[in-house]
């Protein structure tokens, strides 16, 4: 099993940014962690200046990578 998730956690903590996880990655951060965000992805994406998406496809859940009109 890859341990790349720890690098993502370390990066989020060092930059003090939120992590949103899909079903395959849930559980890498405990729900009480200050960088763990849940059920606010859509709202956050609409307000974000930059979004980094790693390891997930731009499918219907991600609006196929298109910006909302």
Q: Enumerate the domain spans of the chain.
A: 4-65
pLDDT at 1: 47
Overall pTM > 0.85: no
Q: What is the pLDDT of residues 2-58, one digit of tens each?
A: 677 888 889 889 999 888 877 777 778 877 889 888 777 788 888 888 888 777 777
Which of 36, 42, 3 shows the shortest CA–CA distance to 20?
36
Burial of 29 (0-12, 13-18, 19+ CB in 10 A): buried
């Amino acid at each position: 099993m890859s341990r790349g998730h720890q690098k993502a956690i370390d990066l989020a903590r060092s930059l003090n940014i939120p992590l949103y996880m899909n079903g395959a990655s849930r559980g890498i951060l405990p729900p009480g962690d200050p960088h763990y965000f849940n059920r606010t992805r859509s709202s956050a994406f609409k307000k974000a200046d930059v979004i980094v998406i790693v390891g997930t496809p731009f499918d219907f859940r991600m609006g196929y990578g298109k910006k909302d009109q």
